[in-house]
Structure 1
Amino acid sequence: MATQALAANGAKVYICGRTQEKLETVAQTFSKDIPGQIIPITCDITNKKEIAQLYDQMASKEKHLDILINNAGISSKTFQTEASTADEMKKNLFDNEDATFEDWDDVYRTNVSQCWFMSTAFLPMLQKATENGKGWSGTVINISSISGQVKTSQHHPQYNASKAATIHLTRMLAHEIQANGLKIRVNTIAPGVFPSEMTAGESSENQKSHIPKENFEGKVPAARPGNDRDMAGAVLFTACNTYLNGETITVDGGYTLQAGR
């Protein structure tokens, strides 16, 4: 969604992921009849060595990087959080063989740590974007989730905790950057339910997912899941508003109004 929003408005967009075939499908499918470009690069952004290689590759191609979007995210095990006794809650959340430190580590590595390492790796290219563009400042957009804002665990506490960490990391990184005299904005978008392989469980041949509208009638004030236009508007606003820094833009169809923060 973010890729299309930027490329359709004339940007040269490099997309990164571990599966070359999926990246090429996106580039070939969505590069048609648009003013921008979509260029695939294979990289595991949970690996510091590969991030360093990605930076070198990008620096050899481009003089600067205007926008960095950290969009990688995973969820894993789910747990029954409802219980009538302390013993039952312990059984569900501690004794359960799926409740492991490794599970939490995997989720945090992808959802939180990579945002830190990708952002800090690309600081020089982002600062050059600020220096080379009058009235512009290089920007980082971390994609978090409303799961990091609501008060419930939604049966995946490790995921919700990681998304809350991403939101705080965004503000913390924005502060550290400005404290060092650099002009690079860092914000986060917290989406509600949008179609993706995570939420829909699958994607089509063109790497698009679908969630039936009727599944959300009565569950969200908007009575539907988010769509490409909703996310495109959020991405373009967050990228282009140079007065926005250290903030979280929630795009959830009113879900948090019902769920509570």
Structure 2
Amino acid sequence: MSFQPQALYNLSGRVAVVTGGGTGIGLIIAQGLAASGAKVYITGRRLEVLRKAADAWNEQNANAGPAIIPLKMDVTDKGSILEGRKFLEEQEGKIHILVNKFVLLLRVPGPTSPFLGDPAAQQLKDAGTLGQALFDNETFGQWADLYTINTFSVFFVTTAFLGLLDNGSRDIDGYTSVVINVTSISGLIKVAQEHFAYNSAKAAASHLTKMLATEFALKKVKVRVNAIAPGVYASEMTHDYIKPEEVDKVGKGVQPVPAARAGTGQEMAGTAIYLASLSGGYMNGQEIIIDGGYTTVNPSTV
């Protein structure tokens, strides 16, 4: 038994799939896994974005071992998911790490109601006006689209890849394959942050994480399922960089973020590496919150 970091967090020989891996948090996690020795497939709808991200990493780390490999796959389409699975079956026959990180097509979290954050807004003058404003401002289709991306895809990608993950658990002694769902503190806090649909979809993904972990354990499937719930991090949706003075504007909390800054790529990647490695092998059915203390000072379910 070794307690050296290179042993605790070594991912050599592991095969990872990171959905939404071409930008933002997904790319950060993919790079972290690759830096720890994993062979990482990044997926998304925009193949040119995936290729650009993979080429940049592979060029900078030409002698570092396993590469980042682009794989076009639409996580909202069952046919595309099955095509991705077939490709991985033929190329690898197994995977050890599946990161479900989905990217919105637009840089906004679905339908929003900005007037919720404006005390002087006319929409807030009475209950009836508020209710009608919320009713008129959003559609069933917008909600369905958001749930498809952030919740439904967690279920369909995970179940489609479950056999490959199980194969991964069989070839390394003492190692259990893992699904890592990237949720959000937006699914854990009780304020809407001006977007009811996004927050409730993330809450659904959090609970789905726990249900999948429980059902797999009860059915003797040797695949762990955990989640990472980030607070304010730079991503494609937040325009890739957040100045310290903008953190609370992005977070839209009742109280400011105690850390007074956004999270870093190292903190995000390090959490994913822990869950994917032998050091996180006893973690199952849990959601790790990395939010700079946001949920400690804002109304939340934790």
Q: What TM-score does the superposition give when structure 1 sets the normalisation length?
A: 0.93
Residue matched to 1:204: none
SS at match of 2:41: strand
Query: Counterpart in 1 of 2:6?
Result: none
Alignment counterpart, residue 216 of structure 1, candidates 239, 247, 252: 247
Which consecutive residues of structure 1, in runs of 5 or more, have no partner in the other structure? 201-208
Report the counterpart of residue 11 of structure 2 in structure 1.
Answer: none
The separation in 2 between residues aligned to 1:213 and 1:8, in whole angstroms, is 28
What is the CA–CA distance in structure 1 between the aligned matches of 2:148 and 2:201, rounded to whole Å? 9
| C-alpha contact (below 8 Å) 1:10/1:37 kept by paired residues | no
Q: 1:76 aligns with which of 82, 89, 110?
A: 110
CA-to-aligned-CA distance 1:192-218 (integer Å, 9 cap, x gap): 011111112xxxxxxxx2111232378
Alignment of 1:33-52 (within 5 A): 33=61, 34-52=64-82
- Which amino acid in 1 is paired with 2:129? E
The reply to whether residue 237 of structure 1 matches residue 278 of structure 2 is: no
> Offset at 1:63?
2.3
Corresponding residue for residue 182 of structure 1: 221
Aligned partners of 1:147, 1:36: CA distance in 2, in Å?
Answer: 34
Report the counterpart of residue 260 of structure 1 in structure 2.
299
In 2, Cα distance between the equivalents of 1:164 and 1:62? 33
Kept after mapping to 2: 8 A contact 1:9/1:36: no
Of 153, 167, 170, the match for 1:114:
153
Cross-structure match for 1:4:
31
- Counterpart residue identity of residue 109, structure 1: T
CA RMSD of superposed structures (Å): 1.4
The CA deviation at 1:84 is 3.9
Aligned residue in 1 for 2:121: none
1:250 aligns to 2:289 (yes or no)? yes
Q: Secondary structure at the match of 2:237?
A: helix
Q: How far did residue 170 of structure 1 move?
A: 0.3
How big is each residue's C-alpha offset from its partner over 1:216-258, in whole Å with a ceiling of 9 and x where there is no partner?
Answer: 3783111110111010111011212110001000011111112
Kept in 2, the 8 Å contact 1:81–1:92? The answer is: no
Match of 2:24 in 1: none
Q: Name the SS of the counterpart of 1:198 in structure 2.
A: coil
Q: How does 1:77-96 map to 2 (within 5 A)?
A: 77-79=111-113, 80-81=115-116, 83-96=124-137
Runs of 4+ in 1 over 4 A off after TM superposition: none
Per the alignment, in what secondary structure is the counterpart of residue 174 of structure 2?
coil
Partner of 1:55 in structure 2?
Answer: 85
Distance 1:151 1:233 in 2: 28
Identity of aligned residues (%): 40
Which residue, 161, 169, 175 being the options, matches 2:208? 169
Distance 1:139 1:189 in 2: 12
Contact 1:9 1:35 in 2 (8 A): no
The corresponding residue for 1:127 is 166
Deviations 1:158-206 (A, max 9, x none): 0000000000000001111111111100001000011111112xxxxxx
**Structure-1 residue corresponding to 2:23:** none
Distance (whole Å) between structure 1 residues aligned to residue 125 and residue 176 of structure 2:
53
Q: Structure 2: which amino acid aligns with 1:44?
A: D
Find out whether 1:27 has 2:57 as its counterpart.
no
Measured against aligned partners, the alpha-carbon deviations of 1:127-182 in whole angstroms (never above 9, x if no partner) come to 01111110000110000000000011111000000000000000001111111111
